[in-house]
Amino acid sequence: MGFKTWLAAIKAWLMGGTAEAATGLPRPVTGERPMGRVPVGGAVRSPVPVAPAFAAPAPAPSGSARARIHAAFDTGMPVESRAGLAGRSEELNRLVEAVIENGKHGIVFGARGSGKTSLSRVFGDLADEKGAVVLYNLASGDLSFSELYRPYLTELATIPGGGLRRGDIASLLDAPFDARALASILAERVRRPVILVLDEFDRVESAATKSEVAALMKLLTDMRATTRVVTVGIAANVEDLIQGHPSLRRHMVSVPVGGIGAESLKDLFVRCCTQAGLTVEDGAASEVASAAYGSPYHLRLFGLNCALAAEKAGVSRIDREIVRIGFGKAFADWRMLSATTADLLVRCAQLPTGHRFVIALIAYAAAMRTRVDQAEITALAIGDGSLDPAVVQAAFDMLRPILRPSAIDGQYLFDDALAPQFYLLLHSGRIDPQPADQGLRSDLRAFLEQGGPMA
């Protein structure tokens, strides 16, 4: 189903219609608003088959119930095994085939929490099995090109048979160097396959550094070097990462990491629950999966809070009531860290119907593919004549403080990648937007009335 078709279906859903069958999403409730090193080597002859993601549940870890829950849902760490990489076989095969088999560079991009780092880690594991050397580093906004790539050189010089000796790179250790100097050393000295993975490339602020990275990719290809570069970053499109360097397209494969299917997310949730020693009702699992809108990070975040709500309630089965509590806890925790964004979304959920509907469309587009195209949203919203274009503009103006422009004119991204899914939960009435300090006030009232410590 094409994205425009999905948007048309979600338009009916957001307005309380009957798009459930078309989208697989629940309808709004009636009457409610709505640097490590991995040793790498030979060529891959065909796309690598990925093991079924949920063939068998992993054994539950030992320890307290809360410890088992946190270990099972683990929202803070990337997946490092193929068994945990839910719904990403196509992206993984595309990256393996292009970089290892065809010798191209790679660029992996998507929303925060979409699984980019996990994908690159599992890719590194596969490349390792093929005999390559995979080196990782994290980008930072204030690092120069030399500072970004010097750690790769020093690490490569410590690997037996890596092709580099300390003396080969002596001139590059203490003085700045450019892409040509680095490419020349790698092309002349390194004969085994090497893959340099640079994560969080979107944090690079210097146009000069980006230009040198682009030049490095081109030079390595031109010099027929055995070294390849894979950059990973948060972006809605390739242009956001390589703006100003369109020639890079000839030397690399782009791997967008978008949303994954609701069934894969549901399977992931059930598997995490099994690891945590919990069971889950089918309808509750579907609701959590649909609320994530394709994001494995949101699935784990919502699932974690649901599991903790079950543990606090003293039950071992997650039902819809536990899910409702879990959604509320996830939102309350996020609101404490992102009060400005959360409070703005709460106000948006209280706007007139037309404005709420447009903001929900914007949130849905951002949740499903990171970027929001204002012209596309406008055309969909006013297509049947039910809304005035001024309402669409007002909705974008309302969200302006928490949106940032993409590299493509007329397209935007949310500053906080968690925001779209939380707004859709607010819109559908699955989160009660109570004031952030209401819980504290309740506890304080109980303390004063009881004359004793708060429970």
Q: Write down the H helix ranges in 370-409.
A: 374-381, 389-399
- Which bin fits 196, alpha (ψ -120 to 50), beta or left (φ > 0)? beta
Q: Which domains are delineated in the chain?
A: 1-31+338-455 (no CATH), 85-257 (3.40.50.300)
Q: What is the pLDDT of residue 287?
A: 96
Pairing of strands 105-110, 227-234: parallel
Give residue-wise pLDDT tens across range 410-425: 889 898 989 999 999 9
Give CA–CA dist 103/99, Å, rounded.
5
Q: Do 230 and 198 meet the contact criterion of CB atoms below 8 Å apart?
A: yes
Structure-block tokens of residue 121: 């880690």
Give residue-wise pLDDT tens across range 346-378: 999 999 999 999 999 999 988 877 789 999 999
Pairing of strands 403-405, 411-414: antiparallel
Q: What is the pLDDT of residue 197?
A: 93
Decide if pLDDT at 18 tops 60: no
Q: What is the pLDDT of residue 455?
A: 39
Instruction: With cut-offs at 50, 70 and 90, classify the pLDDT of residue 297.
Output: confident
Query: Cα dihedral sign for 375, 381, 383, 388?
Result: negative
Instruction: With cut-offs at 50, 70 and 90, classify the pLDDT of residue 10.
Output: low
Give residue-wise pLDDT tens across range 231-240: 888 765 566 5
DSSP conformation class of 302? H
Please compute Rg for the chain using Cα positions.
Answer: 24
Q: What is the mean pLDDT of the chain?
A: 79
Q: What is the pLDDT of residue 252?
A: 83
The candidate with the shortest Cα–Cα distance to 110, out of 246, 201, 195, 24, is: 201
Instruction: With cut-offs at 50, 70 and 90, classify the pLDDT of residue 141.
Output: confident
Q: What is the pLDDT of residue 240?
A: 57
Give residue-wise pLDDT tens across range 201-210: 878 878 788 8
The pTM of the full predicted model, rounded to 2 decimals, is: 0.67
Q: What is the pLDDT of residue 325?
A: 96
Q: What is the pLDDT of residue 13?
A: 55
Decide if pLDDT at 30 tops 70: no
